[in-house]
C-alpha cells in the first residue's frame, strides 16, 4: 500500500504569521513554563497573561489539566502518552504562534528529550522556556490539588518527583524561583523580560 502521507501537502496562506504580527503590533512566540506540580506554573502564567492583556498583547493559555480534559483526554500517563501529550501541545502552540498570538503554556514537561522536541517543532527563535524552580519539599507542602498525598499513597502512578523523574532544565531562557521570591516579583521579572521581546523588527 502506498504511503498516504505522501499526498499531504500543506497550504501556504496569504495571511501569514508576519501579517498577523504586523496587525497586532507585536511578535508572537511561546512562553513555555516548566516545573513540578505545585511549583506555580499556572499561577505565573495566569498573572503574566493578565498583565500582557492589559498591555494590549494577544495571548492564550494552554494549561495541563485543561488540555487533558479535552484535546488529549485519550492519553494516559505512561511515558509514551506523556511524550505525545507534549508533542501535541507543541503543535497546537505553533498554530497559535502562526496566528500572531503569544502562547503561555503550563506543563510539567519533565523530560529533556520532549522539551528539545518542543523547541524543534515551535522553533528556537519562537520559544521562551521558563523554569519555575521550586524544591519538591515546598511543592509537596503546598499540594494544592492533593496529588502528592495520593502519589505517596500509591493512588497515582508515574507521578513526577515521586515515582517518575523530573529532569531539571540545564539552560532555560528564564528562571523564576517561587520558593524564594513572591508572585508579584516573579511576574514583574517575566513581564520585563517578555515585553522586551515583543517589538517587531524594523
Question: Is 169 in contact with 115 (CB distance < 8 Å)?
Answer: yes
Cβ-count burial of 189 within 10 angstroms (0-12 exposed, 13-18 middle, 19+ buried)? Answer: middle
* Closest of 200, 30, 27, 199 to residue 130, by C-alpha: 30
* Closest of 95, 108, 89, 109 to residue 28, by C-alpha: 95
For residue 164, the cross-strand partners are: 160
Measured distance CA(162)–CA(37) in Å, rounded: 11
| 3-class secondary-structure state, position 164 | strand
Establish whether 164 is a catalytic residue. no
Set 28, 39, 42, 109: catalytic member: 109
Q: What is the DSSP letter of 160?
A: B
Task: State the catalytic residues.
Answer: 109
Amino acid at each position: 500500500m502506498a504511503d498516504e502521507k505522501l499526498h499531504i501537502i500543506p497550504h501556504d496562506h496569504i495571511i501569514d504569521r508576519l501579517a498577523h504580527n504586523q496587525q497586532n503590533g507585536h511578535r508572537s512566540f511561546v512562553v513555555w513554563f516548566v516545573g513540578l506540580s505545585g511549583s506555580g506554573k499556572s499561577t505565573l502564567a495566569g498573572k503574566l497573561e493578565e498583565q500582557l492583556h492589559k498591555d494590549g498583547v494577544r495571548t492564550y493559555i494552554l494549561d495541563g489539566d485543561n488540555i487533558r480534559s479535552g484535546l488529549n483526554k485519550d492519553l494516559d500517563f505512561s511515558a509514551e502518552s506523556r511524550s505525545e501529550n507534549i508533542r501535541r501541545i507543541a503543535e497546537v502552540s505553533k498554530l497559535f504562534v502562526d496566528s500572531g498570538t503569544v502562547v503561555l503554556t503550563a506543563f510539567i514537561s519533565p523530560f529533556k528529550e520532549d522539551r528539545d522536541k518542543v523547541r524543534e517543532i515551535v522553533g528556537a527563535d519562537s520559544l521562551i522556556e521558563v523554569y519555575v524552580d521550586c524544591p519538591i519539599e515546598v511543592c509537596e507542602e503546598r499540594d494544592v490539588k492533593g496529588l502528592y498525598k495520593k502519589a505517596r499513597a500509591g493512588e497515582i502512578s508515574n507521578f513526577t518527583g515521586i515515582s517518575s523523574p523530573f529532569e531539571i532544565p540545564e539552560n532555560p531562557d528564564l528562571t523564576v524561583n517561587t520558593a524564594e521570591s513572591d508572585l508579584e516579583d516573579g511576574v514583574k521579572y517575566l513581564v520585563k523580560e517578555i515585553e522586551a521581546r515583543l517589538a517587531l523588527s524594523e
